[in-house]
Structure 1
Amino acid sequence: MGDGRAMGSGWADEQSNRADTDPPLPKVVEVAAGEWYALPAVTEWAITDLAFDVVGWLLQELADEYSENVMSSIVSGAGNNKPTGFLGSPAPVATSDAAGRAFGTLQYIASGLASALPATTSGVIDLLLDVVHSLRWKHRQNAHWTMSALTMSALRKYKDADGRPILLDSMISGQPATLLGYPLVECEAMPNVAAGAFPIAFGNFDAGYVLDRDAGAMRITRDDITTKGFVKFYARTRVGGKVLDSEAIKLVKIATS
């Protein structure tokens, strides 16, 4: 049922023959990739005269822009000169792992409502438990949730009978919040709750998604020759990505079914 052939095995008594069994085959995918780039320019006068570190500020802006673009493509990239996101293509379906799905197609669990999460705390907990237990045990060991800040805010408002929120902030600095005992990672690129959207993902993303980055990371070339009076900063890096194991990531879809 996974996106690769599993290892063969068998049972034998003390003296029976042991036939060769099939070895596992590694998952091989053609990763959609492209080169992210930016080419901002600033005047030499600005670098010299402004009362702050213009170059340092610009380099930080480049890093922020790169991070936002990469995260957006990992979530929903279409694969045209960029990664194919796990919400990109092919479209997720409701088919379970046991029933079998096409390679790279993720499973979703419907919220039960056309344009919202369940109205009650028990309804939300039941939905999230269905998501957790749709994931195979081996992937649950390294799984986490991911969603946008607005979706996190919505879940914070659900409380149990004793008034305790189901989304718990960590008491340890630097540690993530948890939801049903699993870490929660905020991701601005995830869609918000809306009809037909996939606002919540849960899974072992290291196993489920392959991210291929240029070994040299971002390269920046400073050019103060091409355009006189200006300094250009040519930043670029190659990034690719695609779903590797479609059993390792599960989604919540805002839909009746």
Structure 2
Amino acid sequence: METGLETKVAFGDMMQAFEAFKDANDERLDQIEKRMSADVVTAEKVDRINRAVDEAKARLDELTLKSRRPQLSGETTEAQPAAREHKAAFDTYVRKGESQGLSALEAKAMSVGSGPDGGFLVPPEVEAEIGRRLYAISPLRSIGSIRQISAALYKKPFSTNGLANGWVGETQARPETGSITLAELQFPAMELYAMPSATQTLLDDAVVNIDQWLAEEVQLVFAEQEGIAFVTGDGVNKPKGFLSYTKVADASWSWGNVGYLATGVAGGFAATNPSDRLIDLIYTLKIGYRQNASWVMNRRTQGLIRKFRDVNGNYLWEPAARPDGKATLMNFPVTECEPMPDVATDSFALGFGDFASGYLIVDRVGVRVLRDPYSAKPYVLFYTTKRVGGGIQNFEAIKLMKFGLT
């Protein structure tokens, strides 16, 4: 079946499942209202259909990602002879292990750290393709801010006492401004690696597009490891996740900490009007961040919140209006992020904020590949590395929900 048609069918299946879910959940809520408890069969039915919605959405996301994925052509789109030469030399190195061409090119370009021990840079279009695929499937990359760097460390200064400001007339003398106290945030780029393997038969097959094969092999490994690090990474040889910073009650928030609201219930929402706390969390953000905000949660938390209705009986969670869109919660987009914790006592299972302003991802330019035909004979291993870092750059822009008493 054509991908476009498959996507339309999957979108229809997801919408149909959601309508069935709403009917079943309405029945469950009516039973609770009339009898103070829901029938076991009805509750099981709701959970079953809820899982079906998740499965249909996952299938739709997979097909949407597939339709967005550009295919690498067999020839480089670069018109520069040097780019074509690099691509041809890289192809020869991957297929046959002959590194003389790449060594000569990198020596000519005065590259540092290249050679048999450090691997060789992939062609620019392959690096760009890996970056595009990571953007499409890595949750935090789709909403965070991304910056490319050429050094091992990115430093960002910020003012701890705010910028001097005020109004002044056109011809008035400008008042002398006070001294600004600056501090510095640092974002080191850490090494992330993947080691795909191939048979020599595959490498000898001229029809196989080596560039596309490599991008496909490393994308899921890189995306999975990045996704975990951007959420829970401790900053030691990996990016620092936004859940790893010191968390304080939002009423006591100060720069350098992440503010949170508690649900008031250990391991859950309040039994009555559970959505009220979601509204409170929305309005902990200043309006400048709130208008660009997103929810971040895993699919199990999303399944829990999907059951919430407002006073008029409307569901707060709504599926995407089109196949390539995002579900929304109270009209804010939902980013499904599996590394987020489940709802449990004192867990921080729900994030809300302007992640483009709040979280910075730094990518060091250059993806390297080292060919290893010896360690896993008869397979050829390709030790592929990229450098990436991350951390919070604006502590005002991200808030959390704590599923606890205080």
TM-score (norm 2): 0.54
Residue 64 of structure 1, aligned match among 192, 216, 220 = 220
Q: Matches of 2:178 and 2:238 in 1, distance apart?
A: 36
Q: Matches of 2:332 and 2:187 in 1, distance apart?
A: 29
Letter matched to residue 41 of structure 1:
S
Q: How far is the alpha carbon of 1:195 from its aligned partner?
A: 1.0
Q: Matches of 2:159 and 2:225 in 1, distance apart?
A: 28
Contact 2:250 2:261 in 1 (8 A): no
Q: Matches of 1:164 and 1:200 in 2, distance apart?
A: 22
Contact 1:168 1:177 in 2 (8 A): yes
Identity of matched residues, %: 34
Q: How far is the alpha carbon of 1:16 from its aligned partner?
A: 5.2
1:109 matches 2:261: yes
Q: Matches of 2:360 and 2:181 in 1, distance apart?
A: 16
Q: Matches of 1:33 and 1:127 in 2, distance apart?
A: 37
Distance 1:107 1:229, change over 3 A: same
Partner of 2:144: none
Between stretches 175-184 and 5-14, larger displacement belongs to 5-14
Contact 2:159 2:182 in 1 (8 A): no
Q: Matches of 2:167 and 2:209 in 1, distance apart?
A: 68
1:156 matches 2:156: no
After superposition, give the CA deviation of every residue in 1:137-179 in whole Å (9 maximum; x if it has no partner): 1111211111101111111111234432111112223121111
After superposition, give the CA deviation of every residue in 1:76-126 in whole Å (9 maximum; x if it has no partner): 00011000100013x311043xx54252x1001001101112223x232x1
Partner of 1:44: 200
Partner of 1:123: 274
Residue 394 of structure 2, aligned match among 235, 245, 248 = 245
Q: How far is the alpha carbon of 1:13 from its aligned partner?
A: 6.6
1:187 matches 2:365: no
Q: How far is the alpha carbon of 1:132 from its aligned partner?
A: 1.0
Q: How far is the alpha carbon of 1:19 from its aligned partner?
A: 0.5
Q: Which has the larger radius of gyration?
A: 2
Partner of 2:247: 92
Distance 1:197 1:3, change over 3 A: farther
SS at match of 1:123: coil
Contact 2:187 2:390 in 1 (8 A): yes
Partner of 2:185: 29
Q: Unmatched 5+ residue regions in structure 2? A: 1-157
Letter matched to residue 73 of structure 1:
A
Q: How far is the alpha carbon of 1:188 from its aligned partner?
A: 1.0
Distance 1:64 1:22, change over 3 A: farther
Q: How far is the alpha carbon of 1:242 from its aligned partner?
A: 1.2
Q: How far is the alpha carbon of 1:22 from its aligned partner?
A: 5.5
Partner of 2:101: none
Partner of 1:210: 360
Q: Matches of 2:305 and 2:389 in 1, distance apart?
A: 32
1:197 matches 2:352: no
Q: Matches of 1:61 and 1:172 in 2, distance apart?
A: 29
Q: Matches of 1:79 and 1:220 in 2, distance apart?
A: 25
Q: How far is the alpha carbon of 1:62 from its aligned partner?
A: 2.1
Contact 1:212 1:241 in 2 (8 A): yes
Letter matched to residue 77 of structure 1:
G
Letter matched to residue 28 of structure 1:
E
Distance 1:68 1:22, change over 3 A: farther
Q: How far is the alpha carbon of 1:221 from its aligned partner?
A: 3.9
Letter matched to residue 301 of structure 2:
T
SS at match of 1:130: helix
SS at match of 2:283: helix
Q: Matches of 1:83 and 1:14 in 2, distance apart?
A: 47
Distance 1:228 1:95, change over 3 A: closer
Structure number having the greater helix percentage = 2
SS at match of 1:31: strand
Paired residues in the alignment total: 246
Q: Matches of 1:3 and 1:14 in 2, distance apart?
A: 27
What pairs with 1:129-168 in structure 2 (closer than 5 Å)?
129-168=279-318
Q: Matches of 2:179 and 2:330 in 1, distance apart?
A: 36
Q: Matches of 2:287 and 2:188 in 1, distance apart?
A: 29
Letter matched to residue 219 of structure 1:
R
